[in-house]
Amino acid sequence: MAPATQSTVILGLLQELHDRLSQCQEGAVADYIPELAKAVPRDFGIVVAMADGRIYAVGETEKPFTIQSISKPFAYGLALQQLSVEHMQRKVGVEPSGEAFNAISLDPETGRPRNPMINAGAIATSAQLQQLAGAGAEALLLHFFSQLAGRELSIDLEVYASERDTGHRNRAISHLLRNVSVIEGDVEPGLDLYFRQCAISVTCRDLGVMAATLACQGRNPLTGERPLDAPTTVQMLSLMGTCGMYDAAGQWLHDVGMPAKSGVAGGVLAVVPGQFGIAVYSPPLDSYGNSVRGVAACKELSERLSLHLYDQNPLGRSAIRRSYTGNHIQSRRWRTNTELVHLRDQGQSLRILHAQGVLDFYGTEQLLANLEGMARSARVIVLDMHHVQELLPNSLEMLIQTLGELDRQGIRVVISRAQGLIESPRWADLLAQTGIERVDELDIALELGEKLLLQAREARPDRPSPERPSLLLQLDPPQRQELESLLVPRTVKTGERVIRRGDDGDSLFLIVAGHFTTGVHVQFGSGDSRHSRLATFTSGMCFGEISFLSGKPRSADVVADEPGDLLVLSRDDFERLRLRSPETAIQLLLALSAELGGRLGRTSYQLSVMDHL
In the prediction, which pLDDT does 439 show? 92
Active-site residue identified among 58, 69, 539, 547: 69
Based on the fold, state whether residues 368 and 495 are members of the same structural domain. Answer: no
Based on the fold, state whether residues 510 and 385 are members of the same structural domain. Answer: no
In the prediction, which pLDDT does 533 show? 86
Q: Kindly report the CATH number assigned to the domain that includes residue 513.
A: 2.60.120.10
Based on the fold, state whether residues 133 and 181 are members of the same structural domain. Answer: yes
Based on the fold, state whether residues 520 and 418 are members of the same structural domain. Answer: no
**Is residue 61 domain-resident?**
yes
Q: State which residues of the chain have pLDDT below 50.
A: 1-2, 459, 461-463
Based on the residue annotation, tell me whether 72 is a catalytic residue of this protein. yes
**Is residue 463 domain-resident?**
no
Q: Kindly report the CATH number assigned to the domain that includes residue 144.
A: 3.40.710.10
Active-site residue identified among 256, 264, 280, 414: 264
User: What's the structural domain count of the chain?
Assistant: 3
| pLDDT tens-place string over residues 243-301 | 989 778 889 999 999 999 999 999 999 999 999 999 999 999 999 999 999 999 999 99
What is the pTM assigned to this prediction? 0.75
Based on the fold, state whether residues 184 and 227 are members of the same structural domain. Answer: yes
Q: Which residues of 28-50 are buried (b: 16+ CB within 10 A; e: fewer)?
A: ebbeebebbeebeeebbbbbbbb
Distance CA 212, CA 55 (A): 10
Based on the fold, state whether residues 282 and 326 are members of the same structural domain. Answer: no
Residue 187's domain comprises 8-305
Based on the fold, state whether residues 280 and 348 are members of the same structural domain. Answer: no
Active-site residue identified among 182, 246, 292, 414: 246
Of the candidates 196, 246, 263, 200, the residue with the CA atom closest to the CA atom of residue 29: 263
**Is residue 367 domain-resident?**
yes
In the prediction, which pLDDT does 467 show? 57
**Is residue 310 domain-resident?**
no
**Is residue 464 domain-resident?**
no
| pLDDT tens-place string over residues 443-488 | 999 999 999 999 876 545 444 555 567 888 899 999 999 999 999 9
**Is residue 425 domain-resident?**
yes
Q: Which residues contact 432 (CB under 8 A, 6 or more apart)?
A: none
Q: Which residues contact 20 (CB under 8 A, 6 or more apart)?
A: none
In the prediction, which pLDDT does 461 show? 46
Q: Which residues contact 105 (CB under 8 A, 6 or more apart)?
A: 97, 99, 120
**Is residue 344 domain-resident?**
yes
In the prediction, which pLDDT does 422 show? 77
Based on the fold, state whether residues 72 and 17 are members of the same structural domain. Answer: yes
In the prediction, which pLDDT does 278 show? 98
In the prediction, which pLDDT does 609 show? 66
Question: Which of 454, 479, 508 corresponds to the end of one domain?
Answer: 454
In the prediction, which pLDDT does 67 show? 98
Helix, strand or coil, per DSSP, at residue 413: strand
Question: Which of 261, 277, 305 corresponds to the end of one domain?
Answer: 305
Based on the residue annotation, tell me whether 69 is a catalytic residue of this protein. yes
Q: Kindly report the CATH number assigned to the domain that includes residue 354.
A: 3.30.750.24
What is the distance, to the nearest Å, from the Cα of residue 1 to the centroid of all Cα atoms in its chain?
A: 16
Whole-number CA gyration radius for the chain: 34
Based on the fold, state whether residues 380 and 479 are members of the same structural domain. Answer: no
Question: Which of 305, 336, 364 corresponds to the end of one domain?
Answer: 305
Active-site residue identified among 182, 194, 202, 291: 194
In the prediction, which pLDDT does 458 show? 53
